[in-house]
Amino acid sequence: MAGRHFIDIWHLDHLELREILDMAHAMKAARKGWPKGRVDDGAPLEGHTLAMLFEKASTRTRFSFDMAMRQLGGSSITATAGDMQLGRGETIEDTARVLSRYVDAVMIRANDHSDVEAFAEFASVPVINGLTDRSHPCQIMADLMTLEEHGVTLRGARLAWVGDGNNVCASFMHAAGKFGFTLAVGTPARYAPDDEDLDIARETQGRIELFETAEEAVAGADVVIADTFVSMGDSDAERRLEILEPYAVTEDILDLAKPSAWFLHCLPAHRGEEVDAEVIDGAHSLVFDEAENRLHAQKAILRWCLEK
């Protein structure tokens, strides 16, 4: 296969991940002040097309990948599974083989992580994970880029994840050892991270500390991170909202972190549920820089995948 897949952060070594973040910072700086649709110098992905397949809703992933391809001098085609024969039972394997004949790379947002893995196995072009039930690696690359922009040295930093030990939390766990930060996770036992992700973190030298309260996880943190209590595909919304209520990031919770602590949230957010408006709209919040950096980080991921 020409190129490389980007399915999970732990599949890459720390030098490759570093190369992607460095490229993202440099490309962002090089086009500061430009109109958003202008093509980067050298049009690194000229002539290349990305297919984007969505089995779930998306605002940021959809627009940021589309603009990423435009800025790199390429183009994209978007479809939802319902628009495709995939939604009528055509196999992942055949879809992967067919799309590989038309496009240069594929980004997939899927319900089941195993579908992305199967797609990658049968595709002959790079496949990028645009979120599954298990992980969200593109988000974490943008988040880490954002922290670096705001002066956080990742090696030795203490990041606190509070709420549901979900797909986004899993990708932070996969990144901990690669970038040398500690991840303190505060979740109720019922919504604790999966053992499989804890094993991956351990095998990649990630320092993960598990707590059952938000207060313990956040104490002394450099960064506090929240996500929705009810992810796409979760069927137990009522129970989640009840059990996770004590894990909301309020101003009192944020006060337990370092005075300089930053707040991250991948969005979409639910003010008054997992985070108070005073926090997400306050001076410590980086959420819109995070959203912007999806674009810059994914441009670097696309170039890494296509070796351009």
Q: What is the DSSP letter of 229?
A: S
Residue indicated by tokens 């990708």: 171
Footprint of ligand CP (CB under 6 A): 58-61, 131, 139, 266-267
The three-class DSSP label of residue 277 is helix
* Partner in contact with 285, chosen from ligand CP, ligand NVA, none, beta carbon below 5 to 8 Å by kind: none
**Which tokens sit at 87?**
């939604």
> Which entry of 109, 158, 240, 303 is annotated as an active-site residue?
109
**DSSP-assigned letter for residue 275:** B
Q: Closest distance between ligand NVA and the C-beta of residue 33, in Å?
A: 29
Q: Return the number of the residue (95 or 228) whose C-beta is nearest ligand NVA.
A: 228
- In the stretch 121-150, what mask flags binding to ligand NVA with x, by CB under 6 A? ----------x-------------------
Q: Per the residue annotation, which of 227, 284, 298, 303 is the catalytic one?
A: 227
Handedness of CA 216, 274, 286, 189 (dihedral sign): positive
β-strands 49-54, 105-109 pairing: parallel
Q: Is 70 a catalytic residue?
A: no
Asked if 193 contacts 173 with a C-beta cutoff of 8 angstroms, the reply is yes
- Tell me: cis bond preceding 268? Omega within 30 of 0 counts: yes
Q: Are 300 and 20 in contact (CB under 8 A)?
A: yes
Pick 51 or 131: Cβ nearer ligand NVA: 131
Name the nearest CA neighbour of 292 among 64, 50, 33: 64
Is 109 a catalytic site residue?
yes
> Minimum Å distance from CB 291 to ligand NVA?
10
Is 77 one of the binding residues for ligand NVA (CB under 6 A)?
Answer: no
Q: Which of 21, 92, 125, 168 binds ligand NVA (CB under 6 A)?
A: 168
The answer to the question of residue 111 lying near ligand NVA (CB under 6 A) is no
Instruction: Name which position in 227, 273, 276, 290 contacts ligand NVA (CB under 6 A).
Output: 227
- What is the nearest approach in angstroms of ligand NVA to the Cβ of residue 278? 22
Give the type of residue at 302.
L
Between CA 182 and CA 159 the distance in angstroms is 6
Q: Which is nearer to ligand NVA, 37 or 272 (CB)?
A: 272
- Quick one: which of 64, 166, 293, 298 contacts ligand NVA (CB under 6 A)? 166
Distance in Å, CB of 266 to ligand CP, minimum: 4
Distance of closest approach, residue 117 Cβ to ligand CP, in angstroms: 19
How many angstroms separate the CA atoms of 70 and 92, rounded?
27
DSSP 3-state of 46: coil
Contact 74, 50 (CB under 8 A): yes
Residues that bind ligand NVA in the complex, under the rule CB under 6 A: 131, 166-168, 227-228, 231-232, 266
- Could you give the residue numbers annotated as active site? 109, 136, 139, 227, 266, 294
